[in-house]
Every structure is written in structure tokens, then in C-alpha cells.
Amino acid sequence: MDSAVHTMLADTWFGLIGLMLVFYVVTDGFDLGVGILTLFRRKSSDRDVMAQSIGHVWDANETWLVVLGGALFGAFPTAYALLMEHLYLPVMALIAGLIMRGAAIEFRHSVEHGPLWDKVFGIGSLIAALAQGVVLGKVITGLAPGMAASIFIAVTAIGVVAGYCLLGSTYLVKKTSGTVEQWARRIALLSALFTVAAAALLTLATWSASDIGHGRWTHPAVMHVLFVLGFASVVAFAFIVASLYLGSANGPFRASVALFVLSFAGLAISLFPDFIPGKLGILEAASDAPTLAFMLIGIGLVFPVMIGYNLYQYHIFRGKLTGSAHAGD
């Protein structure tokens, strides 16, 4: 296959991996957010409701991470090798956090050790979220060493935790009633403020300190798209605040998802055509054209099944929890 076909296939896979990442972050993000928020509720009945809200969906949400890892390994093996070389510790921490979260959900019903497993549930979720923030920060900084990069990564990790708390709290607003819902509304507003503040700091740092980021953003076509995405993000944030104030059940979560999707669209546009800024381009990282084409056929068969199953799952378990959803009243 000629270079034009290879370029098209590589760019297609870059977009598909970005789409998988969005699916994972949104779906497992609210799971992790709910887990983190259980650390701030003292009553076991409240924690029971929070865990119940994700009990039917959390394990299916993690399948996007598995598919993402496999797709990255097959489509961009050079990027996979480079990332694993530099991100071994945060990736291991991410896996450990997910294992803790999964085990805790299964064992938290223990009469004797239930409170301990609740703490494991929350701490595991927090570790997984922080690890993902570190991975994101390192990728954005191009795996650069130094104090400035470390501060950027720390802010990114805090921003990811705040963003997941936003998704988790707005999901609780959607799924619960009573004092848990009212508490989640307050947490959602606070999380939204922290998320937007972290995003603003990272945007300013990228603009002022990153030659690659500044050069990419000053390109006229890119700047216009990012301006539109930025404006849409402001609208999404305003919608979150307004829907929380007006008492909407579904509006805050939908607007939070929109905020995440817009942010990741901006990130993908900012990175393109690099896979790792200043380190590795998309074409350099990609497999050969026959491999990319063969994988594209496979993902074309798997993708509709995964998306359809997720949609069916959320449809079946739609609406607010009943019975114990009023825990804490």
C-alpha cells in the first residue's frame, strides 16, 4: 500500500484510539468518581446507595480500557513501547487501583470487614484516578523531566480527580434521591469549579511554557477550532451550574459528559500530528498499512457490539434507584 493509504489508516487509528479513550474516561470516570466520593460519607447506608448506583455497570465500563490497550499495542507499537518504558509505575498503580476497586465491590458486604472494604473501594478509586492523571500529564509534557513538568503533571492529576468527582457526583444526582442527591449536588458544583480551574491553569501553562503547544495553537485553522471548543466548554460549564441550581436530575451529568468530550477533542487536536509531543509522530509510531487495515476490519466488528451492549445496559438500568436510594433521610 502507498504512503497516502498508510497515512490515512494511521490517522484513522489515532482517531479511533481517541474515541476509545473518551468512552473509557466517561464511563469508568463516573465509576471512579463515585468510589472516591464514598470516602466522604460516614454512614454505611449512604455508601451502600453509592455503590449500588454503579453496581450493574462498572465492570462493563472497564472493557474499554482493555480494548484501548490492545488497540494501542497493535496499531502503534512504537508508542506503546515508549509509553510503557516511561510510565511503568503509574500504569502499575492504575492496575492496582482497579484491582482494589473491583475486589472491594465484591467483598464490601462482609459483616465483619465491610467498613474496611469501603475504604479500599474509595482509596483504590483515588489511586486509579491519580495514576491516570499522571499518565495524561506525562504524555502532554512529552515525557519531559524537570520540576516544571512535575508541577504540570501534579496539576493534571488533581484535575483528573476533580473531573472524575464531577462525573461521579452528577451521576449520583441522576441516580439517587434524598440527602445523597442533595449532597452530590453540592459536591458537583465544587468539583466543576476545581475541574475548570485546573483546566485553565494547564491551558495557560501550555500556552506560555510549551513551544510545541504554542506553535500548534497559533496555527490559524487550529486556533479557530480550539476557540469554538473553548466557547462550547464554557457553555457546558454554565449548563452544569444552571441545571444544578434548577434541580435537574439528568442535565448536570449530560453537561459534564459534554465538557469531557469537548476537552478531549481539544487535546487530540493539540497533539495531532504527534502521538507524543516532541518525541514521536503518528506515522512514526504506526504499524504497517496491512496490519492497520486488518485491525480496522476487526474493530469494525467489535465496536458496534460494545457500543450496543453499553447502550442496552444503561437503558435497562435507567432511572433513579428505588428503595434504599433514600438512605440517610
Residue 221 sits in a domain of what CATH number? Answer: 1.20.1630
- Residue 6 forms part of a structural domain: no
Q: How far is CA 264 from the centre of its chain?
A: 9
- Residue 55 forms part of a structural domain: yes
- CA 8 – CA 11 distance, rounded (Å): 5
- Residue 4 forms part of a structural domain: no
Enclosing H/E stretch for 275 = strand 274-276
pLDDT tens-digit map of 275-320: 888 788 888 888 888 999 999 998 888 888 888 888 888 888 777 7
Residue 258 CB neighbours (<10 A): 18
- Residue 288 forms part of a structural domain: yes
pLDDT tens-digit map of 62-113: 888 888 888 899 989 998 898 888 899 999 999 999 999 888 888 877 656 6
- Residue 2 forms part of a structural domain: no
- Residue 128 forms part of a structural domain: yes
Q: Which domain holds residue 124?
A: 11-318
Task: Determine which of 8-22, 105-119, 180-194, 291-305 has the lowest per-residue pLDDT on average.
Answer: 105-119
Q: Choose among 200, 220, 128, 214: nearest CA to 168.
A: 128
- Residue 326 forms part of a structural domain: no
pTM of the model: 0.88
Backbone angles phi, psi at 320, to 5 degrees: -80, 155
Average pLDDT of the residues of the chain:
86
Q: Is 34 helix (H, G, I), strand (E, B) or coil?
A: helix
- Residue 3 forms part of a structural domain: no
State the total domains in the chain: 1
- Looking at residue 327, the DSSP 8-state letter turns out to be T
The grid coordinates of residue 208 equal: 506560555
